[in-house]
Structure 1
Amino acid sequence: MTTLGAVFRPQLPPERLRSVVESAEQAGLEQLWVWEDCFFESGIAAASAALAWTERLKVGVGLLPVPLRNVALTTMEAATLYRMFPGRALIGLGHGVQDWMGQVGARVESPMTLLREYAVAMRALLAGQRVTTEGRYVKLRDVALDWPPLSVPPLFAGATGPKSIRLCGEIADGTILTCATTPDSLRKSRELIDEGRAAAGKSDPHEVVVYLLAATGQDAAERIAADSEGAEAGVAGNAEDIAAAVLRLAEAGAGTVVLQPTADEPDPEGFVRFAANQVRPLI
């Protein structure tokens, strides 16, 4: 069965988060995702608040830009969420937008090497291991969490290029794909993910999360067309139109589809209610 979620876009002010989160919880939406895009809002701070305001909703952070964050700090923050809100926090790692990383002096020569080292170290720390590593970028000496998660949660990674998508299959438990993903490109991404999993000797399930740019109501088509990233793969229309697009992604290999409103969505609370009450029953 396909899981349905929605995104709280960071173009909204942080003080708007609570009303969107509570609307999602009350409507019965399964997941709400937040982003750590530069230089809008903290993904971990937003997720912490969203989880504290709810009892059932799963909250995802997709993605945390790893060049911006020390792996020990990120793992401490993630483990805290996993213990305080068991089974409800979802964490995704990514390269970060390279221009943004350059703005803060965090751009690295090999983003793939950093993501690999980072994910390997973070998974080991979350598993309660004591880690010493001297990688190209990740350097830890005798580090272990005092409060590791009671059970090891899935760790997600996200990417766009084929080599990085393959890496996600190798190092992560799930992959997050952008709203530029069409059913055809999703099938190709699944093949790359499976190649990475095979290279790592993995046979466990691997969740694929796909963002779907979606708009409904007045000027929906115009708002989708104006989006430079997701216009080709996005969908505008009523609940039936959007549900059909969700099902096409599910048939192509998505386990979770996360509806991404346009940055100028006029009613974000209404959007999450629409997703839960009108789109969800159709999938």
Structure 2
Amino acid sequence: MTVLGAVFRPQLPPERLRSMARLADDAGIEELWLWEDCFLEGGISTAAAALAWTERVRVGVGLLPVPLRNVAVAAMEAATLHRLFPGRALLGVGHGVQDWMEQAGARVESPMTLLREYVDALRALLGGERLTTQGRYVRLTDVALDWPPPPGSEVPVLAGATGPRTLRLSGEVADGTILTVATSPEGVRRARRLIDEGREAAGRTGPHRVVVNLLTTTGPDALRRLRAELANEGVDTVPDLGVAGDAQAVAKAVRALADAGADTVVLQPTADEPDPEGFLRFTAEEVRPLVP
């Protein structure tokens, strides 16, 4: 079954999160995804609050920019969420937008090297290992979590990826991959091939979850808002991106991404979505019944 989620965009003030998280929980949305975009809202703080305010919805952070967060601290935060809310926290990490990393004084010379070292260390710490490593960027001495996730619990680490090298790397080191709204169904197929190349090179045989964001608009001016957002993202010339229309049209777009290899499709509203609460209801009540 295709997992269907929705995004709470950090362009909304954080005080809106409580009511929307509860709405997502009550409406039956499977996953509510949050962002840690600079310089809007913190991913871990918002995830913890959303999880505390709800009972069943899974909450994802897609994604934490690794240059901004020491991996030991990220492991502590992730382990705490997994122990407080078993099976409901999802964590994605990635390079971060390089201009933002420059603004924050955190940009590194080799984002690929950092991401590889970071994901390897994060997965090891969350797996209960005691770690000493002296990498180019990740340097730990005799570090182990006193409160790791319970043995046997599923603690996947997902990586955000766009380019071929990062997609292969995600297949090598991560448990899943997050793809942006700039990914068409054909782009999902290409991503799956590259991820599988990385998995094969690393000898990994377990499941690898692919999460795809789908820019979605509905309502009277849906097409105009979709086109404006794609233009703002600089991907308006890429075919088959996003969907504008009613629940049938959205469900068809979701199914196309799922057929291409997406395990989870996350409906992402535009930054100017006039009714964010209505968008969540639309996702749960109108689109979900049409997606197998």
Q: Which residue of 2 aligns with 1:123?
A: 123
Q: TM-score, normalised by structure 2?
A: 0.96
Q: Which residue of 1 aligns with 2:71?
A: 71
Pairing of 1:224-239 with structure 2 (within 5 A): 224-227=226-229, 228-229=232-233, 231=236, 232=238, 233-239=241-247
Paired with 2:281 and 2:110, the residues of 1 have a C-alpha distance of 41
AA at the equivalent of 1:274: F
AA at the equivalent of 1:88: R
AA at the equivalent of 1:62: G
Of residues 38-47 and 146-155 in structure 1, the stretch that sits farther from structure 2 once superposed is 146-155
1:165 is aligned to 2:167: yes
Q: CA deviation at 1:152?
A: 4.4
Q: Which residue of 1 aligns with 2:158?
A: 156
| Structure 1 runs, 4 residues or longer, greater than 3 Å off | none
SS across alignment from 2:64: strand
Paired with 2:34 and 2:263, the residues of 1 have a C-alpha distance of 18
**Residue segments in structure 2 that go unaligned for 5+ positions in a row:** none
TM-superposition CA deviations, 1:81-106 (whole Å, max 9, x none): 00000000000000000000000110
SS across alignment from 1:181: coil
Contact between 2:87 and 2:154, CA under 8 Å: does it hold in 1? no
AA at the equivalent of 1:68: L
Pairing of 1:4-23 with structure 2 (within 5 A): 4-23=4-23
Q: Which residue of 1 aligns with 2:286?
A: 278
Q: Which residue of 2 aligns with 1:82?
A: 82
Q: CA deviation at 1:19?
A: 1.2
Q: CA deviation at 1:218?
A: 2.3
Contact between 1:127 and 1:152, CA under 8 Å: does it hold in 2? no
Q: Which residue of 2 aligns with 1:183?
A: 185
Q: CA deviation at 1:115?
A: 0.3
Contact between 2:128 and 2:145, CA under 8 Å: does it hold in 1? yes
AA at the equivalent of 1:222: R
Q: Which residue of the other structure, out of 206, 209, 217, is the alignment partner of 1:207?
A: 209
Paired with 2:228 and 2:169, the residues of 1 have a C-alpha distance of 31
| Cα RMSD, aligned residues only | 0.8
Contact between 1:126 and 1:152, CA under 8 Å: does it hold in 2? no
TM-superposition CA deviations, 1:199-228 (whole Å, max 9, x none): 110111111000000010121111110113
Q: Which residue of 2 aligns with 1:91?
A: 91
Q: CA deviation at 1:20?
A: 1.0
Q: Which residue of 1 aligns with 2:264?
A: 256
Q: CA deviation at 1:159?
A: 1.2
| Shift in alpha-carbon separation, 1:152–1:4, aligned structure 2, 3 A | closer
Paired with 2:209 and 2:185, the residues of 1 have a C-alpha distance of 16
TM-superposition CA deviations, 1:43-95 (whole Å, max 9, x none): 00000000001110000000000001100111100000000000000000000
AA at the equivalent of 2:205: S
AA at the equivalent of 1:35: W
Q: Which residue of 2 aligns with 1:42?
A: 42
Paired with 2:158 and 2:253, the residues of 1 have a C-alpha distance of 23
Of residues 229-238 and 106-115 in structure 1, the stretch that sits farther from structure 2 once superposed is 229-238
Q: Which residue of 2 aligns with 1:194?
A: 196
Of residues 145-154 and 249-258 in structure 1, the stretch that sits farther from structure 2 once superposed is 145-154
| Shift in alpha-carbon separation, 1:152–1:145, aligned structure 2, 3 A | farther
AA at the equivalent of 1:176: I
Q: TM-score, normalised by structure 1?
A: 0.99
Q: Which residue of 1 aligns with 2:142?
A: 142
AA at the equivalent of 2:17: L
Paired with 2:52 and 2:82, the residues of 1 have a C-alpha distance of 12
SS across alignment from 1:175: strand
**Residue segments in structure 1 that go unaligned for 5+ positions in a row:** none
Contact between 1:224 and 1:262, CA under 8 Å: does it hold in 2? yes
SS across alignment from 1:45: helix
